Amino acid sequence: MDKIKVLVAMSGGVDSSAAAALLIEQGYAVSGATMQIWNEDEISRGIGSNEAVTDAKKVAAQLGIEHFTFDFSAEFKENVIAPFISDYLSGRTPNPCIFCNKSMKFGLFLERALEMGFDYIATGHYATIFEDENGYHLSRSAFDSKDQTYVLYNMNQHILSHLLLPVGNMEKSEIRAYAEKAGIEVANKPDSQEICFIEDDDYARYIKENSDYEDKIGDFIDHKSGSILGRHKGIIHYTIGQRKGLGIALGEPRFVTEIDAENNRVVLGSNEDTFCSSLIAEKVNFISGKSPLTPTRFTAKTRYSAKPSDCTVTPLESGLFSVKFDSPVRAITPGQSVVFYNENEVIGGGIILKRD
């Protein structure tokens, strides 16, 4: 009987390398592939770089498996970089990992794998999949500190039916120990940074270098009175909830509560002013393929590292959804995602359009 064929998305890091090794142990016919998302003259380090491809090739050779390189650099610019920059210029704070997972890892990569005759793809994400009479389901990792389901809410039944997550319920220390024991060269390689294409975390610099944006000075506005408090250096330098780096001294802590791109204003208030109880979400996906038709109770989180909060999700017109929290949530930010859970299961999620 032929073995089940799996193509592992190998980033050159320890998680995906360990995933490949585990699948080999489990008897699958394993190959590896790396998405090259940068040209040689663009970036030398990080996910999808030449270094990442080289590391992945070395690990594949160690494991004795075939390795492919997919040049998705043009698609990455179109599907990840362009909307990232566009959102920032419109006063939103996007999460590019959401774009990347939806369009690249579980879009183009999966398509290519199926075209090549593979039965499954596999990644090193910290999450789990289970199947029952109602279809496929995505659940949180057993370890909260590494759970990555917040960036995986765009899954659907087709994707989950062709996806394996071998390290989903392992701790990082356990994965590193396994990789070291297996002699995998990248066993102690540091984790990649949050946004792989901005090495120094200077978003503003990156946006200015990769667009025609130029900083335009505008007004800081008081959240309650609407009075002018001072001048800001350009909206891309700020995000909702920010306190540090405002460049203004007012004698008391102030936080960004709103970014008004249309009028080039940044609104400042107290920490209390950053809390809100409801939002409107767009581009909402439900993993089951079935949207709730009436108000439904879930828990939800509006930031990657946030704790899920009790809420009611209600369908509106034009595919929008209202999310009302039982208790106010801090720094609800347009452009970020709201992700719905039923206990440990990920139900779906969408992009935050606005605070309501």
Amino acid letter, residue 341:
Y
Write down the residue that tokens 């390689």 correspond to.
Answer: 189
Q: What interhelical angle do 14-25 and 50-63 show, nearest 10?
A: 20
Asked if 180 contacts 17 with a C-beta cutoff of 8 angstroms, the reply is no
**How does 278-317 read in b/e, with b if 16+ C-beta sit within 10 Å?**
bbbbeebbbbeeeebeeebebbbbbbbebebbebebbeee
Q: Which of 97, 196, 276, 311 is catalytic?
A: 196
Q: What are phi and psi of 205, to 5 degrees?
A: -60, -45
Task: Specify the DSSP class assigned to residue 321.
Answer: E
- Helix residue ranges, H only, 197-294: 203-209
Is residue 205 within 8 A of residue 214, CB to CB? The reply is: no
Phi-psi label, residue 44: left if phi above 0, alpha if psi -120 to 50, beta otherwise: alpha
Number of alpha helices (DSSP H) and beta strands (DSSP E) in the chain? 9, 17
What CA–CA distances, in Å, run from 216 to 137, 143, 201, 337?
46, 44, 21, 27
Q: What Cα–Cα distance (Å) separates residue 307 from each residue in 58, 169, 345?
A: 38, 19, 14
Q: Is 100 a catalytic residue?
A: yes
Residue 311 designated active-site: no
Q: What are the DSSP E strand ranges found in 195-304?
A: 218-222, 228-232, 255-260, 265-269, 275-286, 296-301
Cα(215)–Cα(233) distance, integer angstroms? 6
**Residue whose token pair is 């699948």:** 23
Which sequence positions are flagged as catalytic?
100, 196
